[in-house]
Amino acid sequence: MARKNEFNKSYPSVWIIIINWNRWTDTEACLKSLEDLTYPNFSVLVVDNGSTDGSVERLKRLNGINTILLKTNEGFVGGNNIGVDYARKYQPDYFLLLNNDTLVDAHFLSRLVTALESTPDIGIAGPLICYAGLPDTIWSAGGSIDLSRGETSMVGIGQKKELFDTRSPFSVDFVTGCALLVKRQVIDEIGFLDDRFFAYYEETEFCVRARKNGWGCVVVPQALIWHKITPEARAASENVHYYMTRNRLLFIRLSKMGWLVYLRALAEDLRTLVSWSIRLKWKNQRRLRKAHIQALMDNLGNRWGKRIVRAS
């Protein structure tokens, strides 16, 4: 899927990078929604992370879609870094990271590009992201960082999108990797996602790094997509808990928030572990204890990247 002709070349070029891992139905629906984009100069690259659900065979049959078929699961970070390295040889003006479990509004890419083109020192932009199951309810309008605790939170989560209808693009601490448009110049200057994360917190650290180098991050409320996510699904996963716990500590370290913030976060994690073990109201969380302990030990042992998470 690409739109390029002599007229379209007058528009900045965008490469859209989508990671697929055993979720072909979601990827197919995402690609279908991209067909309605009004933006005239984009290419699509799907990086398959070693799927075993028949995705590879289906991707091979697609026309107009660039594909990279990996043998193993390189994670969100590895897959996107490989995709960006591939697309850079075409010298696009922008890269768009897009989750495969999203559906996009036809105008969202045009509005993101317009926002970045209009402000030279803004390097990263994200859309307003709503729940696919609750299409008028916000999942993310960017993110904020509590620098005293090393904690992150989604701006606008749970609010109605109509509250943002008339807002201009606004600055945020970070843009979620679910949908992140970045100028090539930013990557040329500071590199891209840190492979030590594998998944989770990588885009947060990238945005912090970009901001420290003078690039702004904004959310464009009139750019809209929908994400097929439920809070319950994320909370139930031992793998997600492991990477979120370990990578928060890595994020604090890399972002140089200081030893006090790091030690406070480590103490909070230890208190959480004790609380889960002795308080009955947290007994349902006890199944996460092994993943939690492994995350803390791997952090202390500087064991990063993809790890096999022990089940309880």
- Residue pLDDT, tens place only, 221-263: 999 999 999 766 556 689 999 999 999 999 999 999 999 999 9
Reply yes or no on whether the pLDDT at 36 is more than 80. yes
Q: Which residue has the higher pLDDT, 233 or 177?
A: 177
Question: Which pLDDT does position 107 carry in this prediction?
Answer: 98
What's this model's pTM, rounded to 2 decimal places?
0.94
Mean pLDDT value across residues 14-38: 97
- Taken as a whole, the chain contains a residue count of 312
| Closest to 97 (Cα-Cα) out of 211, 5, 11, 186 | 186
76 and 135 co-located in one domain: yes
Q: Where are the alpha helices (DSSP H) in the chain?
A: 24-34, 55-60, 75-88, 108-118, 184-190, 202-212, 231-235, 238-254, 259-278, 289-300
Q: What amino acid is encoded at 245 in this protein?
A: T
Question: Which pLDDT does position 287 carry in this prediction?
Answer: 80
Residue 307 lies in a domain: no
Q: 296: domain range?
A: 233-300
Residue 312 lies in a domain: no
Reply yes or no on whether the pLDDT at 275 is more than 80. yes
To the nearest 10°, report the CA torsion of 17, 20, 24, 28.
Answer: -10
Three-class SS of residue 221? Answer: strand
Question: Which pLDDT does position 208 carry in this prediction?
Answer: 98
pLDDT digit string, tens, across residues 117-160: 999 999 999 999 999 999 999 999 999 999 999 999 999 999 99
241 and 144 co-located in one domain: no
Distance CA 234, CA 220 (A): 26
End residue of a domain, out of 178, 199, 229:
229
Buried-exposed string 263-276: b where 16+ CB fall within 10 A, e elsewhere:
ebbbeebeebbeeb
- Phi first, then psi: give them for residue 66, nearest 5 degrees: -75, 140
Residue 38 lies in a domain: yes
Element (H, E) at 26: helix 24-34
User: DSSP per residue over 168-217, as a string?
Assistant: PPEE-SB--TTEEEEEHHHHHHH----TTSSSSSHHHHHHHHHHHTT-EE
Reply yes or no on whether the pLDDT at 28 is more than 70. yes
289 and 203 co-located in one domain: no
pLDDT digit string, tens, across residues 1-13: 665 545 577 899 9
Residue 308 lies in a domain: no
Residue 124 lies in a domain: yes
**CATH classification of the domain holding 173:** 3.90.550.60
58 and 45 co-located in one domain: yes
End residue of a domain, out of 194, 212, 229:
229
Are 179 and 97 a contacting pair, CB within 8 Å?
A: yes
Question: Which pLDDT does position 308 carry in this prediction?
Answer: 85
198 and 267 co-located in one domain: no
220 and 252 co-located in one domain: no
Question: Which pLDDT does position 7 carry in this prediction?
Answer: 57
Distance CA 292, CA 204 (A): 21
**What domain count does the chain have?**
2
225 and 265 co-located in one domain: no
Residue 154 lies in a domain: yes
Distance CA 152, CA 143 (A): 7
Are 46 and 59 a contacting pair, CB within 8 Å?
A: yes
Query: Alpha-carbon torsion 263, 264, 269, 273, what sign?
Result: positive
275 and 143 co-located in one domain: no
End-to-end CA distance of the chain, in Å?
A: 44
Reply yes or no on whether the pLDDT at 277 is more than 90. no
Distance CA 217, CA 238 (A): 31
pLDDT digit string, tens, across residues 66-94: 999 999 999 999 999 999 999 999 999 99
Mean pLDDT value across residues 168-183: 98
* Average pLDDT of the residues of the chain: 93
Reply yes or no on whether the pLDDT at 268 is more than 80. yes
End residue of a domain, out of 179, 210, 229:
229
Reply yes or no on whether the pLDDT at 311 is more than 90. no
Residue 3 lies in a domain: no
Question: Which pLDDT does position 279 carry in this prediction?
Answer: 76
Reply yes or no on whether the pLDDT at 96 is more than 70. yes
Cα three-residue angle 172-140-20, rounded to 5 degrees: 110
Residue 1 lies in a domain: no
250 and 216 co-located in one domain: no
212 and 292 co-located in one domain: no
139 and 245 co-located in one domain: no
Q: Tell me the two tokens of residue 240.
A: 């997600």
Are 197 and 77 a contacting pair, CB within 8 Å?
A: yes
Q: Tell me the two tokens of residue 216.
A: 């702004």
Instruction: Determine whether 169 is exposed, middle or buried from the number of CB atoms within 10 Å of its CB (0-12, 13-18, 19+).
Output: buried
55 and 190 co-located in one domain: yes
Res. 281 pLDDT band, cuts 50 70 90: low
